[in-house]
Amino acid sequence: MRAQTETIAGERQTRHLPRWMRHTGLTAGAVILVIIVLMGVFAPLLAPQDPYEQNLLARIVPPVWYEGGSWEHPLGTDHLGRDYLARLLYGARVSVFIGVTVAFVSGIIGTVLGVTAGYFGGKTDVVISFLITARLALPVILVALAIVALFGSSLTVVVSVLGLLLWDRFALVMRATTQQIRDADFVMAAKVQGASTLQIIVQEILPNVATNLTVVATLEIAQAIVLEAALSFLGLGVPPPLPSWGLMLAEGKSFILFDPWLITIPGVLLFGLVLAINLVGDGLRDVTAPDSRN
Amino acid sequence: MSGDGGRPVVLELRDVSRIFRMSRGPFRRDTITAVDHVSLRVRQSDVLGIVGESGSGKTTLSKMMLGLLAPTSGDVLLDGKPLSDFSRRVLARRIQFVFQDPYSSLNPRRSIGSIIAQPLYIHGIGTRMEREKRARELLDVVGLPARVFDNAPGQLSGGQRQRVVIARALALNPKILVCDEPTSALDVSVQAQILNLLLDLRTEFDLTYVMVSHNLNVIEHMTTEVAVMYLGRIVELAEAGSIFREAAHPYTKILLRSAMTIAPGGGIPDVHFDRNDPAYKRPATPPLSLL
Amino acid sequence: MLLDVQQLSVDIPTAQGVLHAVQGISFSVDNGETLCIVGESGCGKSLTALALMNLLPRRAIRTAGRLAFSGTELQALSAAAMNKLRGENMAMIFQEPMTSLNPVFTIGDQMTDVLRQHRRVSQREARERAIYLLTRVGIGKAETRLGQYPHQLSGGLRQRVMIAMALMCDPKLIIADEPTTALDVTVQAELLRLLLSLQEEFGMGLLLITHDLGIVSRMADNVAVMYAGQIVESGPVISIFENPLHPYTQGLMACLPTPERKRMQHLRAIPGTVPALVGQLSGCRFRGRCPYAQPICAEDVALRPYAHDHAYRCVLPPDISLANAAVTLETNP
């Protein structure tokens, strides 16, 4: 018989108020991010015009707040007379799509490699660490340029190339976090219970590295978006007439002296998006690691 | 020895050693003998206490009993069969482990209910509902209220967490529990609760315990036999009561004198001894008389 | 009076409300005296030590009626003056020496720095004192040890270095917070013995903070038992152990497995856990776990005197309390 009864008078109340709301950077980033994603998702509804429809009679119409602008094209038109607002909205789609898919592809590669290296250690770790080092030695933009030049530019090629190149940070972070957790007592507990290696990795390791994974993923999304913009700017990203902010920057660069808004508007948006994603990433790291902040 | 009543030997260590290789720099490799030719027998319903300081090899020994580490030489036998004959799963149903630190041994990302049901899930026992029911029974067995079922480990106190660890260890109805310092991370008032629980469970489920600790008072109170380890060897093995009355080995005597029993105004005894003196490594004579 | 503390409180604001970690405790330590503060985790004993050294976490708020060291009111001191006092006249030994020794400096550098911060002595003199003290705390080949880094030493040796370092400036008071908890029992005994003999030799006051009643009984001149931020019983060591008056003190003594108790039998456990100290607190903090709790326990209890210097915070009269203690200590159901 068990005589004792634990009354739990002092049960610790760790009620988690929505902490993220109190983190200014995170909130600001999240708000910008949500707006941009919504822009992309509802682009067909929001866009005043077809983004592909050219109107050579109305080329480079300035935005409304400039002289000569009109509400017909609130942000004006580009050098082919396409509605700039419509292209920006659809461009948001492309940017967000590329960011998310690239982070997804590279996230899977990096997590598998990183967790494998971290969990098994030894020779496996040596081999995978070498792979990571080799990958870090590659200049991303040059390799991407070469491959795109070789295979021709399409959305699939851009996504695959970036996805296959950007897994290094995932692998590094996952390797380090897995190494920390690998020897935790609860992992040993699962072993004592007879769990298979796969069960241990899926049930014990992954839930504990998930927050780090999210943080890296946000940073990689930002990285992918910037790289896509860079590739597009160099003419080897998504092929025209697909609207992409990087491509819009590239197309606008010839008009930079006389019609600077062609550059500034997509530039500001790109800046805002990457900033927002980084704010969210940093914020998530702060919020999910409560101990390191006190 | 007398009084074993012909109880079967459930766990046996035959001349077990474990050597670790440490690399020190690219060309230097040291070997450390963590466990040095240890032989032990544990009979059904015994409580074997293993006492020793850090580095005495007691943790390595308990890991070998659980099959988490293979001996470098010698055999670990469970029910007379070598441990290597058992699959990890079959082993898990026979022998389980209670950890020292109730904070790191529970996955912080899981609920108490799923932690306790996890062994059943791993072994594919029962449906989801049945596993949940069993987990609730186990909560009751270890004296935890049903409402902690959905809590996260972080919401429980140290003592409550250690109860969860024990409930999880019991889920597969093992015969043997290896407890590594089960109360050293707990407050004294909670330590008594957990020790009482372990005593109750032993009678209720006819469990056999191997209890590893540096706390002589706990070992004295909880065990039937005590093995004293020093530098990888068992230097003394005796019935629990007798070792405290008439310790034979000089190291056991030192350990007994260092125990901080209550002695108001008693001062601290001088326990200085030469750690390199071979007398402390030599087993007491007659060696391992219990076997 | 070397150290005189009156009505010391430590409050820590948290998201759930104010945590009253230490609630108006008073005690004193004389030259050559050892006061042990004993209690379980979360009772406020470590924060008390940090409050004395003015080393509390930034959010914590310290209030005190009097906090006097050798007659100097610590609360009136500037940060610089407190720094000077700390290390020179008041030294502290922590539980984990690895975290309180700087890993990138040698033992010798750290020890001589302590002295040279407070005294105008040459490097050579400081080195000589370091060697002398390392030898005194039982470290052989002290001169080679001076050139070593903390990670090259075992836990026991590191704690010896910490003790030697605390002694560098000849402090009048040493505050030791669980100094041997992380160590093996034989090393623990050696270090405690060393602390006692050094204290006797140098006539320092020692404030020892621990959870281990065995250590308390052997080291202390006076004992303060803390529970949930309050001192629930205090007095001379013999009196406390022979006549424990507070049900918590009695419970602590009864729940230890000792050679006198019957083996493999139930120990007297204190049921339940420590209450949360957040928000408004009232009444006896122990009443939720106390076997003798009565309705009157919901009202605040003051420390009441029993005998010379022995006081306890309970409504039970001493004779009844002692009768209870006899029951608690002797029967083993």
pLDDT band (50, 70, 90) for residue B71:
very high
Are C292 and C247 a contacting pair, CB within 8 Å? yes
Rounded CA separation A162/A174 (Å): 19
Q: Which of the residues C12, C16, C277 would you substitute to probe the A interface, choosing the one with the greatest number of A C-beta atoms within 10 Å? A: C16
In tens, the pLDDT along A262-287 reads: 888 888 888 988 898 888 888 887 77
Tell me how close the Cα of A180 comes to any Cα of chain C, in angstroms.
19
Are B108 and B114 a contacting pair, CB within 8 Å? no
Give the C-alpha distances (Å, rounded to integers) separating C33 from A138, C2, C38: 68, 9, 16
CA atoms within 13 A on the CB side of C212: 23
Rounded CA separation C177/C207 (Å): 8
Q: Which of the residues C46, C178, C243, C273 would you substitute to probe the B interface, choosing the one with the greatest number of B C-beta atoms within 10 Å? A: C273
Residue A8: pLDDT over 60: no
**Strands, DSSP E only, in chain A?**
none
Q: Identify whether C127 is part of a domain.
A: no
Chain C residues touching residue B260 (CB < 8 angstroms) = 185, 188-189, 212, 214-215, 218
Closest Cβ–Cβ partner in C257, C266, C270 for B218: C257
Confirm or reject contact between B168 and chain A (CB < 8 A). Answer: yes
Are B209 and B22 a contacting pair, CB within 8 Å? no
Q: Which of B156, A109, B54 is nearest to C188 (CA)?
A: B54
Chain C residues touching residue A5 (CB < 8 angstroms) = 271
Q: Identify whether B197 is part of a domain.
A: yes
Rounded CA separation B211/B195 (Å): 11
Partner residues linked to C93 by β-bridges = C176
pLDDT for the residue B4? 58
- pLDDT by residue for chain C (333 residues), tens only, comes to 899 999 999 999 988 889 999 999 999 999 999 999 999 888 999 999 999 988 898 889 999 999 999 999 999 988 888 888 887 889 989 887 677 788 889 999 999 988 888 888 899 999 999 999 998 888 888 889 999 998 888 888 888 899 899 888 889 999 999 988 878 888 899 889 989 998 988 899 999 999 999 999 999 999 999 999 999 999 999 999 999 999 999 999 888 887 777 888 888 888 888 888 888 888 999 999 998 899 999 999 999 999 888 999 999 988 887 887 777 665 543
Domain around C247 = 243-330
How many domains does the structure of chain B reveal? Answer: 1
Residue bearing the bigger pLDDT, A133 or A155: A133
Q: Identify whether A113 is part of a domain.
A: yes
Tell me how close the Cα of C275 comes to any Cα of chain A, in angstroms.
4
pLDDT for the residue C328? 66
Report the CATH number at residue B87.
3.40.50.300
Q: Do C257 and B258 touch (CB under 8 A)?
A: no
Report the CATH number at residue A72.
1.10.3720.10
Tell me how close the Cα of A20 comes to any Cα of chain C, in angstroms.
14
Q: Identify whether B1 is part of a domain.
A: no
Chain C residues touching residue A15 (CB < 8 angstroms) = 16
What's A200's DSSP letter? I
Closest Cβ–Cβ partner in B160, B199, B259 for C185: B259
Closest Cβ–Cβ partner in A3, A12, A17 for C15: A17
Q: Identify whether C238 is part of a domain.
A: no
Q: Identify whether B291 is part of a domain.
A: no
In tens, the pLDDT along A192-227 reads: 888 999 999 998 999 888 888 988 998 898 888 888
Q: Which of B106, C15, C11, C22 is nearest to A14 (CA)?
A: C15
pLDDT for the residue C323? 80
Confirm or reject contact between B129 and chain C (CB < 8 A). Answer: no
Among all residues of chain B, which has the CA nearest to that of C258? B217
Q: Identify whether A119 is part of a domain.
A: yes
Residue B185: pLDDT over 90: no
Q: Identify whether C208 is part of a domain.
A: no
Are A4 and B140 a contacting pair, CB within 8 Å? no
Tell me how close the Cα of C293 comes to any Cα of chain A, in angstroms.
14
Q: Do C289 and A7 touch (CB under 8 A)?
A: yes
Q: Identify whether C247 is part of a domain.
A: yes
Confirm or reject contact between B3 and chain C (CB < 8 A). Answer: no
Q: Identify whether A145 is part of a domain.
A: yes
Chain C residues whose C-beta is within 8 A of a chain B C-beta are 40-41, 155, 184-190, 192-193, 196, 211-215, 217-219, 237-238, 240-242, 251-253, 255-259, 261, 263-271, 273
Q: Identify whether B274 is part of a domain.
A: no
Domain around A95 = 32-50+57-288
How many domains does the structure of chain A reveal? Answer: 1
Q: Do B260 and C259 touch (CB under 8 A)?
A: no
Chain B residues touching residue C269 (CB < 8 angstroms) = 189-190, 192-193, 196
Q: Do A7 and C273 touch (CB under 8 A)?
A: yes
Domain around B24 = 9-227
In tens, the pLDDT along B87-136 reads: 988 999 999 999 888 888 999 889 999 999 999 999 999 999 999 999 99
Q: Identify whether C275 is part of a domain.
A: yes
Q: Identify whether A22 is part of a domain.
A: no
Could you give the ipTM of this predicted complex?
0.85
Are A167 and A106 a contacting pair, CB within 8 Å? yes
Give the C-alpha distances (Å, rounded to integers) separating C284 from C26, C57, C230, C247: 17, 27, 10, 11
How many domains does the structure of chain C reveal? Answer: 1
